Amino acid sequence: MTITTLSRKNIQALTPYQSARRLGGKGDVWLNANEYPLSPDFALQQTIFNRYPEAQPEALIQAYASYAEVSVDNIIVTRGGDESIELIIRAFCENEDRVLYCPPTYGMYAVSAETCGITCKTVPLTADFQLNLSEIERQLDGVKVVFVCSPNNPTGTLLKRSDLIKLLQITAGKAIVVVDEAYIEFCPESTMASELLNYPHLAIVRTLSKAFALAGLRCGFTLANAELISVLQKVIAPYPIPVPVSDIATQALSAQGVSEMQNNVVQVKARRQWLIEQLKGLPQVEDIFPSEANYILVKFKNGNEIFQALWQQGIILRNQNNALGLENCIRITVGTAEENLRVVEAISSLK
């Protein structure tokens, strides 16, 4: 008998999510985690740490409600978007229930489900990275939660709004539909938040990790109708948001903080376009997929070799070769102008 054999059977069989930091690497150009390349400058306003924090910090809830244009009753604050994903599974899925997701997409949907002992169903995206609605509808039996990501990670593509509406229609009364909007600040007009009043089974995952440049803060949000939020309140930890996290997140959501974020988005989009234009002309590049996020997915003629060559040079990208339908593909986060130039020069120097 070992410690491992004492663990739950599903945990023994689980392959953990390979986060950017878990994958390691020794680099000076980190473009594998879709972070903003520079850190914002915030100072702590609160200095009293001997008391437990508010379960759901009121000032932070109000700030995000104002930013997202929803009621305070439609929000729960979580430790990053990842906790939101797990909370929804824990709150709504039992042993015989299923989670459905559409690869290639974010790997934590599957890992969180498997951690909770919930079986996954998959319906791959179409060749143009859109929902296969007819197949999803055919696979809905036993499904309690459907996860979709828009803009999708790692492809960068937006799901059609009409398809998301159709998905909500075919799942009504059957399943929770979770739309992961981690990258929505790069295309805010595409948010599904305006549909919360129409579809009580819609949940939207948000984060401050991407456009707000606060990945190290681990602060996320779930937007949903009040009844769904009250269900999540039952399973969330009693004090999930540390005082410093709440303090800095509230500052980030001030008028000045939001304005700085929006300026950052403009710069990222400009650098993204520059990166695309530079890579287009390289003989190693086979295709560059359209992106509405702070990264691009590039298909190379020899993706594994290029990934390894740049890794050895300290340029850490995200290899997607093992993802469904993404052979020879690498996801490249948009970095600073200097970092982007390093990437282009490194690739162009390879034969």
Residue 8, amino acid: R
User: What residue ranges of the chain have pLDDT lower than 50?
Assistant: none
Q: How confident is the model at residue 26, as a pLDDT?
A: 75
Q: Which domain holds residue 17?
A: 3-38+257-348
Report yes or no on 52 lying in a domain: no
Same domain, 97 and 201: yes
Same domain, 62 and 207: yes
Same domain, 230 and 119: yes
Q: How confident is the model at residue 24, as a pLDDT?
A: 65
Strand ranges of the sheet holding 329-333, from the earlier edge strand across to the other edge? 285-288, 295-300, 329-333, 318-319
Same domain, 344 and 317: yes
Same domain, 127 and 185: yes
Burial of 163 (0-12, 13-18, 19+ CB in 10 A): middle
Report yes or no on 47 lying in a domain: no
Q: What is the dihedral sign for C-alpha 151, 156, 160, 165?
A: negative
Same domain, 153 and 265: no
Q: How confident is the model at residue 27, as a pLDDT?
A: 76
Same domain, 261 and 248: no
- Three-state SS at 317: coil
E-strand stretches of the chain? 29-30, 75-78, 98-101, 119-122, 143-149, 176-180, 202-207, 220-224, 285-288, 295-300, 315-316, 318-319, 329-333
Q: How confident is the model at residue 61, as a pLDDT?
A: 98
Last residue of a domain, one of 199, 234, 253: 253
pLDDT per position as a tens digit, 37-58: 888 888 888 778 899 999 999 9
- The number of distinct structural domains making up the chain is 2
Report yes or no on 46 lying in a domain: no
Question: How far apart are the C-alpha atoms of 311 and 349, rounded to whole Å?
Answer: 14
Question: How far apart are the C-alpha atoms of 245 and 327, rounded to whole Å?
Answer: 39
Report yes or no on 45 lying in a domain: no
Q: What is the DSSP letter of 56?
A: S
Report yes or no on 29 lying in a domain: yes
Burial of 124 (0-12, 13-18, 19+ CB in 10 A): middle
